Amino acid sequence: MPRGGRVALVLVIVAPGQGAQTPGFLAPWLEDDVFASRLHWLSTVAGLDLARHGTESDADTIRDTRIAQPLLVATALVTSLELFPHPADAFRLIGAVAGHSVGELAALAGSRAITAEQAMVLVRERGTAMADAAAITPTGMTAVLGGDRDEVLATLERHGLTPANDNGPGQIVAAGTTEQLSALADDPPAKARLIPLSVAGAFHTEHMAPAVGHIAKLAVSVSVHDPRIPVISNRDGQVIHDGRELLKRVVGQIASPVRWDLCLDAMADLGVTGILEVPPAGTLTGIAKRALKGVATFALKTPDQLDDARAFCLEHGEGSLIETTPTWRMVVSPAKGTWHLAEQLKGTGADGELLDAGTEIGGVSSLRDTIAVTAAHGGQVVEWLVEDGDLVSPGQPLVRLHPVGAE
C-alpha cells in the first residue's frame, strides 16, 4: 500500500514450529542475565527447566512434545523482547506476524492478543495433551519433497493420509498411522522424495482430536484482546483481527492442517519486503527464499546478530494501519480482494449506524472465493474507511466502530 507517494515497506515476523530446535541452541542467549531471568520466569509458568533443555538436553529429550513446544514458544517470546526492547517499537515497525503450528501461540502473544503467561500455560497443556493423544495409536509424519502437487495430494488421499503441513511449492508433510506411512513408502508419488520425520505422532490430524477438547476448555477462561499487529492464520492464510477468533483457530489447529502455503500467499498480498524469523531460526526463512523470490529474509539465530537484525527491522518496518489509524474498535480485511458492502447495509450503514455483534457487514472477493466479514463485537459506526467496490489489502481497516455503551 503506498504511503507518502511511494511503495510501502512491510516487515513480517515469523516464529518456527516443532522440529526447529537443536541441542544447545539457547547457550549463547543465556549469557545475557536479562534473557536468562526472563526465560526463568516463563520456565516457572511452564513448570519446566527450559534453560537446561535449551543448553544441555540431547536431541531425543527436546524432541519430546511436552518439552519442545514450551521451549519454542518461550524462546520466541524472550528473543522478541531482545529484538524490540521497547514493545512500542514493534507495533510501529511490524506489518504482520505469523507462527508455524505451535509458533502461532508466540505470534498471538507478540501481537498482544494474549499475554506471555497465558501463552505458556496453553503451550504447556498443548504439548502434554498432544503427547497423550499421540500415545493412543502408533502414528507419524513423513515429508514429501518435490513431485507434482496434484499427484502428491492424490497419493496421500489414496493411502488415507492427511497433508498435515502444506509448506509451499514442493513441500508437503503427510501424517497418519504407521501402516499408512509404510504404504506411502512402498507407493510414493512420482519424482518425490520421502523423508520420515522424528516426531511423536500425526500432528494436525484427526488423531489429535482428544487434545483439542482439553485445550478448548482452557481457552474459554483466557481473556483476549484484539491484536495490535495483524496476525496471519495457519488455517487459511487470512488476516484475523478478532482476539477470540484467533484463539479459537489456534485451538482447532491442533487437529487440522497447517496451511503455511496460504500464509505465504497472504504475505505476498501484504507486499512483504522483509521476513525475520525468531530463534531457532532457519526453517521458515528457507521456505520463504524459495517461495517469495526477491523478498529479503533474516534468520535470527544468535545474540551477536541482534544489531543487524534491528537494522533489518528498521529497513523494512513501517508498521500496520491497525496500529497507526485512530480507533475505538477496528474491523479489517482478512485478505486481498474487492470489498463488497452487505446488501442490508447499503443506504443504511452510514456513520452513526448501530451494528449488532456478529453483523455481516460485507465480503472480500478474490478469484478463489468470497470471505464474509462480520463486526464480531458490534458497535456504532464512527467511519467507513472503504467504499463498495474498492480493492483492499490483508489487514486493511474497513470500518471504525465505537463500542456500545462506551463513553
Q: Which residue among 197, 225, 241 closes a domain?
A: 197
Q: Per the domain annotation, does 35 fall within a domain?
A: yes
Q: Active-site residue among 204, 207, 214, 241?
A: 204
Where residue 17 falls (left for φ over 0; alpha for ψ -120 to 50; beta otherwise) is beta
Q: What is the pLDDT of residues 242-259, one digit of tens each?
A: 999 999 999 999 999 999
User: What's the whole-number mean pLDDT along residues 5-27?
Assistant: 88
- Residues 223 and 299 occupy one common structural domain: yes
Average pLDDT, the chain: 92
For residue 2, the model assigns a pLDDT of: 43
User: Backbone phi, then psi, for 164, in 5-degree steps?
Assistant: -70, -35
7 burial via Cβ count (<10 Å: 0-12, 13-18, 19+): exposed
Q: Is the dihedral of CA 7, 365, 325, 347 positive or negative?
A: positive
Q: Which residue among 264, 298, 321 closes a domain?
A: 321
Residue 159 falls in the annotated catalytic set: no
Please determine, for residue 92, whether its predicted confidence score (pLDDT) is greater than 90.
no
Q: What is the pLDDT of residues 61-77, one digit of tens each?
A: 999 999 999 999 999 99
CATH of the domain at 306: 3.40.366.10
Percent of the chain scoring above 70 in pLDDT: 95
- Residues 352 and 398 occupy one common structural domain: yes
- Residues 159 and 296 occupy one common structural domain: no
Per-residue confidence at 368, pLDDT binned at 50, 70, 90?
Answer: confident
- Residues 372 and 232 occupy one common structural domain: no
Q: Per the domain annotation, does 97 fall within a domain?
A: yes
For residue 5, the model assigns a pLDDT of: 41
Q: Per the domain annotation, does 155 fall within a domain?
A: yes
* Whole-angstrom distance, CA of residue 230 vs CA of residue 267: 11
Q: Per the domain annotation, does 309 fall within a domain?
A: yes
- Residues 156 and 123 occupy one common structural domain: no
User: What's the whole-number mean pLDDT along residues 7-24?
Assistant: 91
Q: What is the pLDDT of residues 104-116, one digit of tens each?
A: 999 999 999 999 9
8 A C-beta contact, residue 82 and residue 303: yes
8 A C-beta contact, residue 274 and residue 312: yes
User: What's the whole-number mean pLDDT along residues 124-147?
Assistant: 96
Please determine, for residue 96, whether its predicted confidence score (pLDDT) is greater than 70.
yes
Per-residue confidence at 91, pLDDT binned at 50, 70, 90?
Answer: confident
Q: Provide DSSP, 9-76.
A: P-EEEEE--TT---TTTTTTGGGSHHHHHHHHHHHHHHTS-HHHHHHT--HHHHHSHHHHHHHHHHHH
Nearest to 260 by CA among 67, 20, 26, 44: 20
For residue 349, the model assigns a pLDDT of: 56
Residue 161 lies in domain = 134-197
- Residues 138 and 114 occupy one common structural domain: no
User: Backbone phi, then psi, for 329, in 5-degree steps?
Assistant: -145, 130
Per-residue confidence at 198, pLDDT binned at 50, 70, 90?
Answer: confident
Residue 80 falls in the annotated catalytic set: no
User: What's the whole-number mean pLDDT along residues 254-265?
Assistant: 97
Q: Which residue has the cell 499475554?
A: 115
Percent of the chain scoring above 90 in pLDDT: 83
Q: Active-site residue among 101, 111, 256, 333?
A: 101
- Over 217-272, what HEC string results? HHHCCCCCCCCCCCEECCCCCCEECCHHHHHHHHHHHHHCCECHHHHHHHHHHHCC
Please determine, for residue 4, whether its predicted confidence score (pLDDT) is greater than 60.
no
Q: What is the pLDDT of residues 38-55, one digit of tens each?
A: 999 999 999 999 999 999
For residue 89, the model assigns a pLDDT of: 83
Per-residue confidence at 319, pLDDT binned at 50, 70, 90?
Answer: confident
More confident residue, 89 or 173: 173
For residue 6, the model assigns a pLDDT of: 43
Q: Per the domain annotation, does 300 fall within a domain?
A: yes
- Residues 158 and 250 occupy one common structural domain: no
Number of domains in the chain: 3
For residue 318, the model assigns a pLDDT of: 83
CATH of the domain at 352: 2.40.50.100
Q: Which residue among 293, 321, 349 closes a domain?
A: 321
CATH of the domain at 150: 3.30.70.250
Q: Per the domain annotation, does 138 fall within a domain?
A: yes
Q: What is the pLDDT of residues 274-286, one digit of tens each?
A: 999 999 999 999 9
Please determine, for residue 405, whether its predicted confidence score (pLDDT) is greater than 80.
no
Q: What is the pLDDT of residues 289-315, one digit of tens each?
A: 999 999 999 999 999 999 999 999 999
- Residues 164 and 311 occupy one common structural domain: no
- Residues 226 and 303 occupy one common structural domain: yes
Q: Per the domain annotation, does 262 fall within a domain?
A: yes
- Residues 24 and 69 occupy one common structural domain: yes
Per-residue confidence at 325, pLDDT binned at 50, 70, 90?
Answer: low
User: What's the whole-number mean pLDDT along residues 265-271?
Assistant: 95
For residue 350, the model assigns a pLDDT of: 65
Q: Would you call 204 helix, strand, or coil by DSSP? A: coil
* Whole-angstrom distance, CA of residue 313 vs CA of residue 86: 14
Tell me the pTM: 0.91
* Whole-angstrom distance, CA of residue 165 vs CA of residue 257: 6
- Residues 80 and 110 occupy one common structural domain: yes
Please determine, for residue 1, whether its predicted confidence score (pLDDT) is greater than 60.
no
- Residues 349 and 316 occupy one common structural domain: no
Q: Per the domain annotation, does 268 fall within a domain?
A: yes
Q: What is the pLDDT of residues 203-239, one digit of tens each?
A: 999 999 999 999 999 999 999 999 999 999 999 999 9
For residue 329, the model assigns a pLDDT of: 83
